[in-house]
Structure 1
Amino acid sequence: MNLFRNRNFNIFLTVQALSVAGDSFSALAIPLLVLHATGSVVQMGVLTGLSGAASLVTGVFAGYLADRLDRRTLLIACDLARAALYAAIPIVWISGPQIWLLYVIVPVGAALGMIFQVTYVTVVPSLVEPGQITQANGRLYAIYAAGGIGGPALVGVISQAYGPVVAIGLDAATFVVSALGLMLVRLRPAAAPQDRGGLLEGARFLWRQPVLRSLTILLTFFIFLTAGVDDIVIYHLKHDLSQNDDAVGLVLACAAVGTILGAPLIARIRKAIGFGHTWVSATTLSGLAMGGVGLATGVPVIAVLMALFVFGTAVAGICSQSFRQEITPSHLLGRVTAAFWTIHYVLGPAGAALLTLGAARFGVATVAVIAGAGCVLVSLSGLLTPIRRPLTPGNPAGR
């Protein structure tokens, strides 16, 4: 069936675009809220680190939930719970800034987001045919990016006019809409679980598959170096360049263009040069762009560099996710996805905290160049692993 005629996939695509637009609201509005209330980039980094830690802990059981519970119901429950959480921020904020509340809500929201993301990955193969997975992921990423463009641009305007707390309230509403849309989606039945293992079962599958094993190790270091990139870009624009919230929203909106440009191309690029060379080229581009962000002094240049950074991560991410969905049995996909993300995010919280602490102490330029160079080294290391295997009929990594 053509994807354009796939009713369930198209509903899923539409409601998730709204949800991602809301995610982009909170991703920008919460750091702005902290910066407005405290003026501290370190606190921004601590919150990012706590979010990463919460996701890491949740990854231990998220895959088990996705493989054992009804996946559509789990997605709806996560959306409704996040709607309630983020709605609490503007309600409590009426009496004045309550930073402590963010240290409670943001990690819990990240934990629910982790469960949602793991389950979402398991749902895609139940919506489309096996040969359409890369194409479907490309369209999902592109639609998500379209929501991500409108989201940051709008939140910048709203934040400038009414304050970031109002934008967070709108985020809560998008989760409600997403949950209602998911109620209309019907999934193909998944295979019954054939084992009772948890995260370790997923980790064992990763270890036995050479390409996934190499990806997991390399991405662990890549995430460590890039987890705090949004925070240092916001800090660079606000602190170093004295820009307003509108400019911050514009830059992050332009960054999302990178995903829109990359998503439609990924299936063709992967078919032409293979999985390994696609992944290495894309992550190398991201590293070079990240290094350039710290040296840029103009908003347009930063916007272009962030678009290139996101283009690279989008191409690499779509390629990696599609390969994982293609080779993993359905009954195990939740645990494999959770193990993959949990392992390679393990250093993310520390990376975000160190990146923002370094930006406050040594300047954005220094830490961005060092982190960008590190990303390039990590990426090129992939050429020494099974990831680089050439495109051959017998090699599924090249599909």
Structure 2
Amino acid sequence: MSGDPEVRAKRPAQDRRGPGRSRDFRIFWAAQTLSFLGDSFALIALPLLVLEATGSVARMGLLTAVGGAASVLAGVFAGVVVDRVDRRKLLIACDLVRMVLYALIPLLWLAGPRIWLLYAVLPVCEAVGMLFAVGYVTVVRQLVAPERITAANGRLNATAAAAGVAGPMGAGVVAAWAGPAAAVAVDAASFGVSALCLCFVRFGRAVPPEPAAAGRRLWRDLLAGVSFLRSHRVLRALTMLLSLFSFLELGLNDLLIYHLKHDLGQSDGTVGTVLAVGAFGSITGALLVARIRHGLGFGPTWIGAVTVCGCAMAGIGWARDVPAVAILMAAFVGGGSIAGTCSMSLRQQVTPEHLLGRVTSAFWTIHYSAAPIGAAVVTWAAQHHGTAPVGAVAGAACVGIAALGLFTPVSARRPEVAAEAA
């Protein structure tokens, strides 16, 4: 936590209270739930639109890859933007832009399928979403005390998972009843309500950077987050391991949808139900992560969670009935929720206030950079070789990533304590 009195003075008075007692955090929490609800609708609605129009899992994977690439590119500059603008206004603007762009899809789809529109809209929305995500991470520390960050992130992730239960189920029902385009319309509306909620939240601002020549300052700022990650031994190793994990993980939803629709012959409603049931694992993981990390420490918690993800991924393609697929999905998402909350909380705890946006941006840009390629490769392989062998290979690789973590500083139980001592 920054010791600069200017930063402390600009923070809301409620930030020393527990997450549930802070007015600003509660409103922010509600806004995030709505945004997560919209994201979960898009998670199933957009792939279903592509599958409905083309019948190709490879085209689904290509759309995911294009969106992921745009997110990575935006991540290069997102931290610089977040550390320099009013974060409340930025978050509101991001929600409004996504509301407008997603609303265009069902409107234009009325005249017939427009696959080109998805490839035009999704990259922009993903880029804006990256700006929103970096801003979201930076303001959590301004709304609660440092020692409560993991608990606050757990609550946010739990409600995100709850939205992940309601969202896919609702999207599946809406898609089955009125078509996937109608589910995208609900997605657009959720971003509008989220923007309205954010209008009532008070955020502090990071310390402005030292004056410098424009060109030199931009180059220095782009490298500042990378430099910090490289200098921090735990974050450096964690970034490398997560880059490998993201390569395998991004295409899982497309793989799951294809397995249910193509291999098992299930309906859109069943797809939504399976994703909703699976999301209960994320709720459980998010609610337990603070307690598990407190008891086991960071390293054992993160490595164990990634191991669970790998085992679940390996089994999904071999599961021949819907309940088994749902249980394995719950295990995968639950492990991902625990690992993700631990990693995000550690960055928030050990990063100086004025660098938090740029470090977050650099972290996500690096570890997501290979993910779009991975999504395209995994879905292409699934279409040509089947979901079962591809899932097994990807799952085994995830377990290998967890094993690598045992030989890196990521295995440390209390890396945040070492950072405070330094």
- The reply to whether TM is greater than 0.5 is yes
Q: Is the 8 A contact 2:350 2:420 kept in 1?
A: no
Say if 2:377 is the partner of 1:354. Answer: yes
Deviations 1:88-120 (A, max 9, x none): 001111111010100100111110111100110
Matching residue of 1:111: 127
TM-aligned CA deviation for residue 182 of structure 1: 0.2
**Aligned to 2:406, what secondary structure does the other structure show?**
helix
User: What is the rounded CA distance, in whole Å, between the counterparts of 1:66 and 1:396 in structure 2?
Assistant: 24
1:381 to 401, 404, 414: 404
- What are structure 2's unaligned runs of at least 5 residues? 1-16, 212-216
Superposition map of 1:186-225 within 5 A: 186-194=202-210, 196=217, 197-225=220-248
Establish whether residue 283 from structure 1 lines up as the match of residue 299 from structure 2.
no
Question: For 1:220 and 1:284, how far apart are their aligned partners in 2?
Answer: 16
Distance 2:183 2:69 in 1: 25
Give RMSD over aligned pairs: 1.4
Give 1:133-148 correspondences, 5 Å limit: 133-148=149-164
1:54 maps to: 70
Q: CA deviation at 1:187?
A: 1.4
2:317 alignment partner, SS class: helix
Residues 301-359 of structure 1 show CA distances to partners (whole Å, capped at 9, x for unaligned) of 10010000001010000000000001111111111001000001111011000100001
Q: Does 1:323 align with 2:340?
A: no
Query: Quick one: distance in 2 between partners of 1:205 and 1:20?
Result: 29
What residue in structure 2 maps to residue 299 of structure 1? 322
- Note the 1:1-399 alignment, pairs <5 A: 1-194=17-210, 196=217, 197-391=220-414, 394-396=417-419
Mapped to 1, the partners of 2:223 and 2:207 lie a distance apart of 20
Give, in whole Å, the separation in 2 of the partners of 1:165 and 1:363: 28
- Distance in 1, matches of 2:337 and 2:153, equals 10
Gaps of 5+ in 1: none
Please give the per-residue CA displacement for 1:18-54, whole angstroms capped at 9, x wherever unaligned: 1111111111000000000110100000000001100
Corresponding residue SS for 2:203: coil
1:396 deviation in Å? 4.8
CA distance in 2 between partners of 1:298 and 1:184 (Å): 46
- Give the share of equivalent positions with the same residue, in percent: 54
Deviates more, 1:269-278 or 1:191-200: 191-200
**Equivalents in 2 of 1:289, 1:224: separation in Å?**
16
Does the 8 A contact of 1:389 with 1:397 survive in 2?
no
Note if contact 1:276-1:397 (Cα within 8 Å) is conserved in structure 2.
Answer: no
CA distance in 1, matches of 2:270, 2:172: 7
- Name the CA distance, whole Å, in 2 between partners of 1:392 and 1:206: 14
**Counterpart of 1:276 in 2: which secondary structure?**
helix
Is the partner of 1:316 in helix, strand or coil? helix
Equivalent pairs counted in the alignment come to 398
Q: Tell me how far 1:395 sits from its aligned partner.
A: 3.0
Cα distance, 1:272 vs. partner?
A: 1.2
Distance 1:389 1:177 in 2: 41
Q: What is the TM-score of this pair, normalised by structure 1? A: 0.97
Deviation larger for 388-397 or 32-41: 388-397
Structure 1 CA distance for aligned equivalents of residues 261 and 420 of structure 2: 42
